[in-house]
């Protein structure tokens, strides 16, 4: 197996949601190279599907794209937090929902060349509406959309967020193949 | 629509594959906050499917995860490069393949809270084998796997890379729904 050995590691930035590192590494051919990457606490996200197969989405201004992005509810893991605990919390905070059942459908590496983030994607069913209560400084809109409409949006190229595309297409595949439990 | 207005922008790091910025922004409620994020050139990736429905994957050591990651072939856009040009190049460089047809199946935002990367995901068909020629310092293994086996690996949680999961599940959904062209 290929491997890269750390020769030295330097933290260049210690931020609010990320740390940036630059490491010197030895490659498998003995040469030296640099690796610059983010360390991130990870996150949990939830595709919540109700009895009529509506799905709950949030739209949120995402500064790096200078645009509102259409996503499933999600949030960062707190230090030492279990992904499922985070998923339960974020689903209630962002979408005002409780769920009877959470199924982990993927553990996603968003862009493996420069972040160590792990993003857990859950399918939540057996929903009960409660009340959303957003964090200070968090602004988002919640939309309940029939699954088939969301699927059409994905196919049309109107959905971009990675976790949201994984969730929609994984659900669509399982549904069409008769594999939904 | 919610919006955040840039008050000031500071580049904290100018690296080989990324730039890190910290901006001060005004939120829609008038309060001030900070946004720390990566600027990245973007990338193109390719799910190449042959006549017998085998798919070409690459495994590559990904330093942030300290592990080999199973992915579809991909690479960074060069400055000003069209995504399709990049996809054609990377498919040949990494997998040793030319393709008659490229279809854009998604433009993915990998993790929209802290990067502006856009990752274009193509489905490539009509394949001809040529010869792989990797960049200096690039080490990867190519594997040709039946699509149904790759789908099972995704469902079993053995695939983590975001673009790879999007490609596999999008293909699986279209196939099962009779929507493949």
Helix, strand, coil in percent for chain B, rounding step 5: 20, 45, 30
* Model pTM score: 0.96
Which pLDDT does position A2 carry in this prediction?
A: 65
Backbone φ, ψ for residue B50 (5° rounding): -90, -175
Which pLDDT does position B132 carry in this prediction?
A: 77
| A19 vs A2, higher pLDDT | A19
Contact B4 A63 (CB under 8 A): yes
| CA-based nearest residue to B63, from B142, B135, B138 | B138
* Any B CB within 8 A of A37 CB: yes
* Any A CB within 8 A of B37 CB: yes
ipTM over 0.90: yes
Which pLDDT does position B7 carry in this prediction?
A: 97
Q: Give the active site residues of A.
A: 136
Instruction: Find tokens 């690996």 and name the residue.
Output: B153
Mean pLDDT to the nearest integer, A21-40 = 95
Q: How confident is the model over B77-99, as pLDDT tens digits? A: 999 999 999 999 999 999 999 99
| CA-based nearest residue to B40, from B16, B66, B65, B19 | B19
- Within 8 A of B33 by CB-CB distance, chain A residues are 137
A contact residues 88-107, partner B, Cβ 8 Å cutoff: 104, 106-107
Q: Coil, helix or strand for B139?
A: coil
Which pLDDT does position B1 carry in this prediction?
A: 53
Confidence of residue B139 (pLDDT cuts 50, 70, 90): confident
* Any A CB within 8 A of B1 CB: yes
CA distance A147 to B40: 32
* Any A CB within 8 A of B154 CB: yes
Nearest chain B CA: its distance from A160 CA (Å)? 5
Q: Coil, helix or strand for A46?
A: strand
- Within 8 A of A164 by CB-CB distance, chain B residues are none
């Amino acid at each position: 197996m290929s491997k890269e050995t750390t020769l030295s590691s330097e933290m260049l930035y210690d931020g609010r949601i990320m740390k940036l590192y630059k490491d010197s590494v030895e490659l498998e051919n003995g040469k030296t190279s640099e690796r610059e990457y983010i360390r991130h606490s990870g996150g949990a996200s939830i595709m919540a599907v109700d009895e009529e197969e509506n799905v709950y989405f949030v739209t949120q201004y995402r500064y790096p794209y200078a645009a509102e992005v259409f996503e499933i509810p999600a949030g960062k893991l707190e230090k030492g937090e279990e992904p499922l605990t985070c998923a339960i919390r974020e689903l209630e905070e962002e979408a005002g929902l409780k769920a009877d059942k959470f199924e982990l459908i993927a553990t996603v590496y968003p862009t493996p060349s420069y972040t160590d983030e792990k993003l857990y994607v859950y399918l939540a069913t057996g929903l009960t509406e409660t009340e959303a209560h957003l964090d200070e400084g968090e602004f988002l809109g919640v939309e309940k959309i029939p699954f088939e409409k969301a699927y059409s949006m994905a196919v049309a190229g109107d959905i971009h967020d990675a976790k949201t595309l994984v969730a929609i297409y994984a659900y669509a595949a399982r549904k069409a193949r008769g594999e939904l439990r």
